[in-house]
Structure formats: C-alpha cells, structure tokens
Structure 1
Amino acid sequence: RGPHIMAGYWRAPEQNAKVFDEEGYYCSGDALKLADPQAPEVGLMFDGRIAEDFKLSSGVFVSVGPMRTRAVLEGAPLVQDVVVAAPDREELGLLVFPRLDQCRVLAGMADDVEDEAVLASEPVRAWFSQWLARFNRDATGSASRIQWLLLMAQPPSLELGEITDKGSLNQRAVLAQRAALIDAAYQGSAPGLLRREAR
C-alpha cells in the first residue's frame, strides 16, 4: 500500500477483492524473505509464489519456488523447468521438462530419433539419476527430499494453460493436466520413472 501501488482495477470490484486485503494492502502472491537476516535494512528478496506452495499428506509445508529454482540451476544444462508434485501426497516427485537438444547431445542420438527414445537412453537416465542423488544430498526431510522424477517428452502446452501468457510454467495447470501420469508415478507404474536410491 502506498503511492507506488495502483489504487485498484477499473470498475472491477470482484478483482479488487481478490488482490487487496481489508486494510487496502495489495497482495502480490509473492513470497519474500530477508536478503540478509543479520541486516534487515538491506531489504527483501523474492522467494517464490505463495500460490504454488502446498502441504504433503503429513501436513508438512512445501515451499515450491525455491525448490524449482534450485532444480533448474543445479540441473543445467539438461533441465529446462520442473513441476513439484504433489499436494496431499506422502512424498515429493518432480516432473522434469528437459532441454531435449542437450539430452540428444548427451545420448549421442541424431535429430530424427524420437524424443522418448532419447530420454530413455542409458546416458540420459544415468545423468538424471545422479542429479537426483546430488539434489537430495542435503535434504533434511520430506519437504525437501525428491523421491522420484519423470522426464517429460511432451513439452508444456500453452493451449492447456500449462504455460502462462508471460511464458512461465503454470504449476497448478501442469499438475491438473498430467494428474493420471502423476498417479501412475506414485503407484510406481509410470513409464520411465526414476526413483531415489535408498540409503
């Protein structure tokens, strides 16, 4: 709330009710954290979208934004984006949208080879299995440990709402559109499923 924040949507009270609280503060939906907890005067920094966060069936809260960011950064150059699955489940999984061109190079396969065959190749599966192990190395509990991942040969769909108008991944829409695949992953029957190795 302040002179730098819009006063509201023009002639749209229902939209205003969604984004302004009872005191007139704009609710962006962004999660923030202190940039430096030892020096709060430094300011705040973006820490994901609140709308993407969810709870596991145990009631443990999962902060999706930082997990997605970390997965993409640590998954370079093979990871384009990920979706964290899924609300009200016992464990976490990832739907990974890979950089198919990079996976193709790693697999040593020509452009005319089907994407599914590239993702099923031993070099690609081995790389993602090792990446999953590295990702989980410092996991401290169920809200930070990824138990399985699926490599998506089918990219996210703009028509189905899996990509927003701004070009970013819509976590909720992907979870809804690919619910049957996610169910199969939790049952251990999804094709190409990679599971975390037990220690």
Structure 2
Amino acid sequence: MEDILLKVEDLETLVNSKKVNFSAEKGDIICIFGLNGCGKSVLLKTLCGVVDKKQGSILYNIDKKQLGVCLQFPEHLIFKETALEEAVLIMDNNENSAKNLLKEINASKDMSPFYLSDGQKRLLFIYGYLETKELIMLDEPFVSLDDNSKTKVAAKIKEAADAGKCIIYTANRAVDKETADKIIYL
C-alpha cells in the first residue's frame, strides 16, 4: 500500500455516471482521456476536492501538501504580485529554484504573473509542481503550448515519474495520451 498514493473506487462525478476505479502509484503516469465535454476536468476537480462527488470513494495515502494541481485556467491559482513571488510560492519558498524556473519559462521576475502568456502560466505551475510535489494533477497540460514546449512537458512528466512521482493528467487528443503508461477512458 505504501506505493499507492491514491485509490479511487466506484467514483461517479456529478456530470458522468460512469464508475471510475483505479489506483495511482509512485512512478505512474495516468491519462484521463476522452472527448470534449465527457467529464475529464470534472473528474480531476472531483479527485482534488474542488467539486463534490456523486458517490464512491477517493482515498489519499499522501500528505495533501504533496498534491499539486494545475487546472485548465491557471490564472485562478495566482496569488502574488510578481512572477518571482509566485514562483517562490510554487517552489516551496526556494528562491534559487524559483529564479531557475522563471528562466526556463522565459519570464521576467518583476513581471506580474497575470501578464504571462497562457503557455507560460501553464508551464510555471506544471514545471514547479513536477519538481516539488509527489502527486501532480494536470488538466490538459499540452493545451496552449507550442510543439517544442509540448515535447519538454512530456519529457519532464516522464522524468518526474522516473523519480517516483505520480502524474495524472487529462487529454482529448490521441497524441497527448502517448506520454501515459495507464489510460482511463471516459
């Protein structure tokens, strides 16, 4: 049980009556895959507690501080006035790591995080959580990214999994599910 970080049994969300069952272990890359409107984002929000479940169980075997969640519109996650302050928060108060993160996404430390491009906002949270959290949930992590950034995100997801982290992400394009080693079809 110690490798299992999340166990989901007979979970029904408010928008999808399909029962979902799976375990997420250290090193897993799990893709929740389906067409637009099938309930992928709602399932992810249900897993992290943002949305109530209809029925079933969600059992965490991890300190919730080790859960990183990047929803489809990451501007809702922004709390700080500068990109550096936001990055420091994401990087668990490590300013050097925060500065490196901003360099990696080509962002100025003094810039308001609200002025980052959609792709930069997404990368800020994705890269930060892949480095600092044990269980990472990403809603459509490849959206709003150029091909080079998509390739880097896929590589960083695999690198994090190789380090024993578990990544759960949603996707609606067949090419985006190729990064996963387990797929949940909705």
Q: What interval of TM-score do these two structures reach, taking the shorter chain for normalisation?
A: under 0.3
Q: Give the structure with the higher percent helix.
A: 2
Q: Which has the higher contact order (CA 8 A, sep 6+)?
A: 2
Q: Give the structure with the higher percent strand.
A: 2
TM-score normalised to structure 2 length: 0.26
